[in-house]
Every structure is written in C-alpha cells, then in structure tokens.
Structure 1
C-alpha cells in the first residue's frame, strides 16, 4: 500500500455474522485459530456495550480492533482486547488509525477511559501506546497470563503494563530522555549483560529506565539474558509504580543506539479527572 492509497482505507463498525467470521479468519492468520475469538462471543460483545472495528482496503478486511466493557466494582471502562493487522499490510500505520477510531467510538458511546495490557519490553507497542497515542501506565502485572507457548511469549514470564488511555484528556510531554539526570541504566555496556543490583533509591520527580529495542532478537539469541531483562525491569517498574510514579512516555536513547528509555513522573498528573 502506497501512502497515497491510504485514503482508500475505510474503518467501520462490524455487526453482522459474516463480517465477524472474517474477523476470526484474520485473527487465525495473525495468531492461530485456537487464539481467535468464537463468532458467537463476538456477536454477544457487539450487542452488549462492546464493539469491533474493521479496517478495509479495496473491500478486503486487513485489520480489526476488538473492545468490550469492563467493570472494577466502581466504574465501567472499555477494555481493548486485541488489535490485528494482516501481515501484508503492516508498517502502514493502520494500527494507529484503528486505535484513534476506537477512541472516537468509545467517547461517542460514553466511555471515559480505555485500558489494555502490553509487554513493556516490546518497544514497538510502547512507542504506539505511550509516545504516539499519549496513554499512561500506573500498574505493572507480573506473569498475568502464566506460561504461554506462542512464538512471542514462550520461555519467559508474561509480565505486562496496564495502559490507561483517557478519552477527554490530551497529554503533553515536556520532559524528554535527554532532560533527565536521574536514569536507571540496567545495562553494563562493556559486556552486554545487566547490572547485578538495581538501584531503587532514586527519589527525584522524573526518572528514566533503559530497555532494549530488540527484545525478540535477544530472546532468540540468548534466553538467559532476556529473562534477566524481564526480572530487572520487573523490579524497577513494580517498585516505582507501587510508590506513586507513572510511566508517561517511551523515547529513543540517543546515547545508546538500539536502546530506549521509559520516562516516569512522580505524582498523579494524568488521571482524566
């Protein structure tokens, strides 16, 4: 798809069984049939406060976004369950288009916040969720799905950030990675391994945390190092998020190519209230 052809991309709500069957076929292609959502469940979702968006190019379904309502005992919110793009149409920004359409639709339906989870070591997702969309993170969940055998998750704990995307609030990031004097650098660059002990004593209002930009490559080449990244970042994020910090952005580390920095702020500055 050329850039000028993106104007022919159409995003619409999906309601009928035939469209939802196409979504399951695309899910099966992106992940597997076993991981796809049965159509009878999709029908129930779109009839009871959720919705599924489809992205079409030349009348062909090439992407989808699946959302359902959640309730934590106090308030109703929208859960962004999954988003999938046909392998032939990735890297065209379709995922971001679907997310922005999701936010618009959610607002029209009366939701004020959308939540979802992602692996903090998957920086492509972090760049979309935090840097482009402007979501924030307050919660770190260790091994939320237990052991998984798929290619992305096999052999390592399924830790996740819980993302909050407030519909009525725009986030402005005035702090960049280069502005931060308090950095938690987990990598010992001279030999590629990680520091033995994580420093959790930093108390300034802004800190940054280093993560690799090629985690799946690390997993393939050195699983022990990947597991160490998981454990060290879990220690850092769990500690600071539990003590009132918020993850607000992900930026490239200009001093270390191939590495990224999560930016964190102390205090409840982005709550949508």
Structure 2
C-alpha cells in the first residue's frame, strides 16, 4: 500500500523529470516563468488545465503533490514561479497583489494557447489567497471553471503581523510596528500598501464554484480563516473541508484519502472526464514537448 511519503517521493522525481519551461510577458515588464507538465498518456483530458499556485516566498516545487495528482488524472499542468521566489530576481513579493496579477497573466497565456481551455485555479497558503484575489478582483474568462483554495489567509496584513510574531518571538505591539515599517518601505518601492489588499473583499465577489480546505491544527494561518472566507463567499457552489490534526497545508499528508476524494469529487463535477479516460495507476507521462517561449 502506497504511503504519503511514497507519493511525495514519486511526485518529486516526476516533477524534476517532466518539467518544461514556458514563459510569458509580465504585465509590469519583463518575463514570467512557469513549469508545464503534460498529462499522463492513458488519461488525457483534452483542453483541461490546472494552474497550481505556490505560497509565500516559496517556489514551484511546493506544488509537486498537486501537479502530480492532477497530471495522473489527465490534466495539463502549469506551475508558475511567482514574485519573490528565486526564479524572479529583482521582483518582490506582493503578499498576493503582484502574484494575483501574475496569475491573471498565466490564465491569459493558457487561453491564448488553447481557446477551448477549461481551467482549474489551485493555490496553497498564500497561493490560495492569490487565486482568490485573481478571481475576485479581475474579470475571469469563461475558461476558468472552478477554484481550489487550500490554507488561505483572510488578511495579508494580519498574516504578516502573525508571521513576524512567530518568527521573531516579539510581542504583538512590536511585531505590528515592525510590519508597519516594512509597509512604508513597500509603498516606496512597489507603490502600494499591504493594508489595501483585501482577500475578504475579493472572495465576496467570487461566484465560481470553490472548495476551501484547511487543517484544524494550522498554526501558520489562523484556524478560523476558512470560516471567514467561506461565509463571505457568495458562490452558490461553495464547499469546505477541515481535516482534524492537520498542520498548515498538511491535510494532503494527514488524511490523503479523504483529502483527494473530496477534491476529486468537486473537480469532476466541473471537469467531466472523457469517456475513454480511466484513473491512472503509475502510467508513464506524455512525452516532453520543446519549451515554449511565449
């Protein structure tokens, strides 16, 4: 029987062996980079894509389990490298603001490459907040069909204060003062305040089908974030899952069967599999294609 550890090891090896570099223009200048993955040969879902969005100061490898799982289920995968990670030197994290702009650029890239594309937005941690901001603050093309939001925070500014408290062990008043100073610098460098980013306002405009997930033992994002986001979302097709005993973004390892059953049921309701497709069992992925530079 495969363990969560086996799965993550396989996912990491697959990710490194199958990744293809793709690029598109950044809305604010320069180029954006992502890794693309073809679906497994035996389970292709033509025109169905998952855009996997990583978390704060992370990188695309964080999304290995999700990319691998969805590729086995026949989706074409795109895993962008967002602002602030090592592949975007000179670009600063926007705590979802710049990242959500990048996400919209990648949605447009997919639609330009495949006008028939059906897109699932998938994000973990800050990536979950990023896809909420992208979908809530921007007109989405009809190609975007649904959203998976795993361990998202409901306030970027409050998350920065909480993160500073945890990492520096400063009292909350000092953590708030430090973050306020960082915000002043950010306004000078990037031209916006972190206080002006509102995940709650954005989720209040989302009508797409959406699944919220979080671990009950999350100590990185406030445990009631999922409740706040779920209740603020006006979508008539919204769902939530809290996994007992799971730490931040660890639901997939704590109760993998429950996690993936919930996710796959939700996804299949909005991305019907072709008649010929069958669940993958260790099949070989499709052959690598040459890198696409725009």
Q: Judge same fold: TM > 0.5, yes or no.
A: no
Determine which structure has the larger strand proportion and give its number: 1
The structure that has the greater radius of gyration is 1
Structure 2 length-normalised TM = 0.33
Higher helix fraction (1 or 2): 2
- With normalisation by structure 1, the TM-score equals 0.34
Q: Which has the higher contact order (CA 8 A, sep 6+)?
A: 2
